[in-house]
């Protein structure tokens, strides 16, 4: 007889076992899936952290590399400009008294040359010319290249005409000397127009006489020339106009530096430094570039190129940037411009300097030393009592 309860009892145990087995397997699979999911999340998190860490390391490395590259670029540029033991003077301007004596003695192949003492005024206004000058030297008046009231350089035609009147053309080797930076002023003016062989006797008449070389006192007159033998100006790029200076200051051009070669008292706005300039101050952002006296040794010769560079770098001048020098009216600034030009450096002169800047009431002005305490104002707000006392 078929007994249903026995059949159910026989089936129940195997079924229960199957169900239990299935349940265990499902739980195990669920656990495995959860573990796998958790592991995956952990792995992804670790990967993300690693990526962030790598990115940070790369960023820091890039920053360091970029800084090193910039440092190398600045160092390389400065090494190129500084003219250390391996650098060469590309266009010799400053020469010794011995150099000129060798020309006199026929030891140097210089045929067409003119020697000139340079001062303001005519020869009778010179402190030295009618007492002692180098044999054959003529006298050059600084007024031949500039005029007031701004005292900017004259027109190219006027300067070239005066050059010809002094017996000079573009191929003439010109030996200049004088007691102050007026000689650098004239040398730079001649260079801009295109006189190709400009020389400044380092140390002037003192260096010449210290060597025991002969002098004379009689006035010499130039034999004028009529043909400059070339187009002019040859180097207009050496000059910066007032409009360009205003634009550079307004734009805060980081690649340009305006460097003022004036006394510290002029730099901080205590005095204009000139009897005919009533206001005192500097262009905004101007770097102190030292006065003429700091460019000379005790014996009157100019300091070395490397010493000049070291002096300027201490004030914050970057040789890897464009250097624009200025002073009151362009005399003193001509010294570093010529020294850097010798080395083929990108250097310019803001011809108008402080004199032209202070003629415009709306222009901004820096007063004080930016390293300690500086005040910004405008020309119109400045007092008119800062002229140098006579």
- Residues annotated as catalytic are 327
Backbone phi, psi, residue 376, to 5°: -105, 135
What would the two tokens of residue 324 be?
Answer: 């624009």
Cβ-count burial of 15 within 10 angstroms (0-12 exposed, 13-18 middle, 19+ buried)?
exposed
Contact 273, 263 (CB under 8 A): yes
The torsion defined by the Cα of 281, 286, 287 and 288, in degrees rounded to 10, comes to: -20
277 vs 328: CA distance, rounded Å:
9
The β-bridge relationship of strands 146-147 and 152-153 is antiparallel
Q: How many CB atoms lie within 10 A of CB 252?
A: 9
Contacts of 389 (CB under 8 A, 6+ apart): 275
Tokens of 31: 């656990």
Six-digit token pair at 95? 């020469």
What single DSSP character describes residue 142? G
Largest CA distance in the chain: 162
Distance (Å, whole) CA 239 – CA 351: 7
Enclosing H/E stretch for 67: helix 4-82
């Amino acid at each position: 007889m078929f007994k249903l309860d026995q059949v159910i009892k026989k089936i129940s145990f195997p079924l229960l076992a199957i169900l239990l087995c299935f349940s265990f397997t499902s739980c195990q699979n669920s656990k495995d899936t959860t573990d796998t999911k958790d592991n995956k999340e952990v792995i992804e998190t670790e990967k993300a952290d690693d990526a962030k860490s790598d990115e940070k390391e790369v960023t820091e490395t890039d920053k360091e590399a970029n800084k090193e590259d910039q440092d190398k670029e600045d160092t390389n540029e400065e090494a190129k400009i500084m003219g250390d033991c391996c650098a060469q003077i590309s266009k010799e301007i400053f020469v010794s008294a011995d150099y000129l004596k060798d020309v006199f003695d026929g030891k140097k192949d210089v045929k067409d040359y003119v020697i000139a003492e340079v001062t303001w005024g005519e020869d009778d206004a010179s402190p030295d010319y009618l007492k002692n000058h180098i044999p054959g030297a003529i006298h050059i008046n600084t007024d031949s290249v500039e005029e007031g009231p701004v005292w900017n350089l004259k027109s190219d035609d006027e300067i070239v005409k005066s050059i010809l009147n002094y017996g000079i053309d573009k191929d003439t080797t010109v030996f200049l000397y004088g007691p102050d930076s007026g000689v650098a002023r004239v040398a730079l003016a001649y260079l801009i127009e295109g006189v190709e062989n400009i020389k400044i006797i380092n140390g002037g008449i003192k260096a010449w006489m210290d060597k025991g070389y002969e002098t004379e006192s009689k006035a010499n007159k130039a034999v004028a020339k009529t043909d400059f033998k070339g187009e002019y100006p040859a180097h207009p790029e050496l000059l910066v106009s007032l409009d360009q200076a205003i634009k550079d200051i307004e734009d805060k051009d980081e690649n340009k530096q305006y460097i003022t070669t004036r006394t510290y008292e002029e730099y901080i706005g205590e005095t204009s430094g000139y009897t005919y300039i009533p206001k005192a101050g500097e262009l905004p952002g101007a770097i102190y570039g030292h006065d003429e006296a700091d460019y000379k040794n005790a014996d009157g010769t100019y300091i070395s190129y490397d010493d000049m560079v070291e002096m300027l770098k201490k004030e914050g001048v970057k040789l890897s940037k464009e250097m624009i020098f200025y002073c009151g009216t362009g005399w003193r600034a001509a010294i570093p411009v010529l020294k850097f030009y010798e080395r083929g450096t990108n250097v310019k002169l803001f011809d108008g300097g402080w004199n032209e800047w202070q003629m415009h009431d709306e222009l901004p002005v820096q007063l004080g030393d930016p390293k300690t305490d500086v005040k910004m104002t405008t020309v119109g707000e400045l007092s008119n009592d800062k002229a140098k006392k006579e």
